[in-house]
Amino acid sequence: MAGVVVVFDFDRTIIDGDSDNWVVTQMGLSDLFNQLRRTLPWNSLMDRMMKELHLQGKTAENIAECLRHAVLDPQIALAIKSAHAIGCDLRIISDANQFFIEKILEQHGLLSCFSKIYTNPTHVDQEGMLRIFPYHDSTTSPHACPRCPPNMCKGQVLDLINASYPDGERQRFIYLGDGGGDYCPTLKLQSCDYVMPRKNYPLWNRIHSDPVLIKAEVHEWSTGEELERNLLNIINTICIKETSNGSNPSQPNSSDCNLIL
């Protein structure tokens, strides 16, 4: 559907849990993780966990196999496939990492549904060790956003997505997330946009603690079934509005429909 961009968080949104915690727990790293948790930034900590797995003789394929067992609600998978089939542009903005996200999406046949994934990059080095790096390198390109962790400002990523479309073709955004890091991009959404916070999670709490700052229409969800129903209802509502207005969804009439850059 031209003009509609659906942006998903990953952990506790597309998957029910946290992909980092899944690997740490399933691969027996909980003790070391807890020992180092207060001494290292999260990205550095996860990179250290990958080093530990390498020292134990575990390969990137062993990690991939672990990730293939991560739980993903079939209703959420159906929602993603349906939105993609309709023609929406699907993106992911996540503070997880490239390797974890791609392996889980591949397992569930969803990777091709997303036009781009914005997350902490990874690569397997010459020794076969999986390495995890920050999306924003604080030493060379700090984002300077006071709301977000040093390694990723999701609000700046949303600006980047908006800027990637041709001038004058402002998109309708639907943003789905759960965490505190999803609050910054939510503040950039306008009255023609929608935000879908997971109920009783940090993003939902922030929105309800100061709703006057939120311009987008809020549709909460708790289960995969609710996510699927609400997302497809929103897409259908956008379609009906644009059809009745006789306008192109990528060129809305509302002068208020502009991201704050």
pLDDT score, position 179: 96
Q: Give the pLDDT mean for 217-228.
A: 98
Q: What's the pLDDT at 256?
A: 43
Check whether 20 is labelled as a binding-site residue. yes
Average pLDDT, the chain: 91
**Burial class (CB within 10 angstroms; exposed 0-12, middle 13-18, buried 19+) of 233:** exposed
Instruction: Give the pLDDT score at 94.
Output: 98
Residues recognised as catalytic? 9, 11
Cα separation, 86 vs 67, in Å, equals: 29
Average pLDDT over residues 217-225: 98
Percent of the chain at pLDDT > 90 equals 79
pLDDT 10s digits, 10-35? 999 999 999 999 999 999 999 999 99
| 182 has binding-site annotation | no
d(CA 252, CA 257): 7
46 occurs within a structural domain: no
Could you tell me if 78 and 21 are in contact, meaning their C-beta atoms sit under 8 angstroms apart?
no
CA distances from 64 to 21, 27, 76, 99 (A): 14, 11, 21, 8
Q: What is the pLDDT of residue 168?
A: 61
Give me the domain span that covers residue 176: 4-15+72-119+136-245
Q: Is residue 189 assigned to a domain? A: yes
What pLDDT does residue 253 have? 42
pLDDT band at residue 241, thresholds of 50, 70 and 90?
Answer: confident
27 located within any domain: no
Sorted by sequence, the CB contacts under 8 Å of residue 6 that are 6+ apart come out as 83, 88, 89, 90, 91, 174, 176, 231, 235
**26 domain residue, yes or no:** no
Measuring CA to CA, how many Å separate 183 from each of 33, 58, 67, 154, 211?
Answer: 27, 36, 27, 9, 12
* Number of domains present in the structure of the chain: 1
Residue 112: what residue type? S
Residue 9 counted as an annotated binding residue: yes
> Is 33 contained in some domain?
no
C-alpha closest to that of 208 among 225, 253, 200, 78:
200
Specify the pLDDT at position 257.
45
- Judge whether 30 lies within some domain: no
Is 40 inside a domain boundary? no
What pairing do the DSSP bridges indicate for beta strands 172-177 and 130-132?
A: unpaired
Using CA atoms, how far residue 26 sits from 21, 128, 167, 183, 225, in Å, is 8, 20, 47, 30, 27
Q: Which two tokens stand for residue 122?
A: 């990874």
Q: Report, as an integer, the average pLDDT of 64-68.
A: 98
What CATH number did the domain enclosing 158 receive?
Answer: 3.40.50.1000
Has residue 196 got a pLDDT over 80?
Answer: yes
31 belongs to an annotated ligand binding site? no
In this prediction, residues 208-225 reach a mean pLDDT of: 96
Under the banding of pLDDT at 50, 70 and 90, the label for residue 1 is low
Q: Is 25 inside a domain boundary? A: no
Q: Would the pTM of this model clear 0.85, i.e. be above it?
A: yes
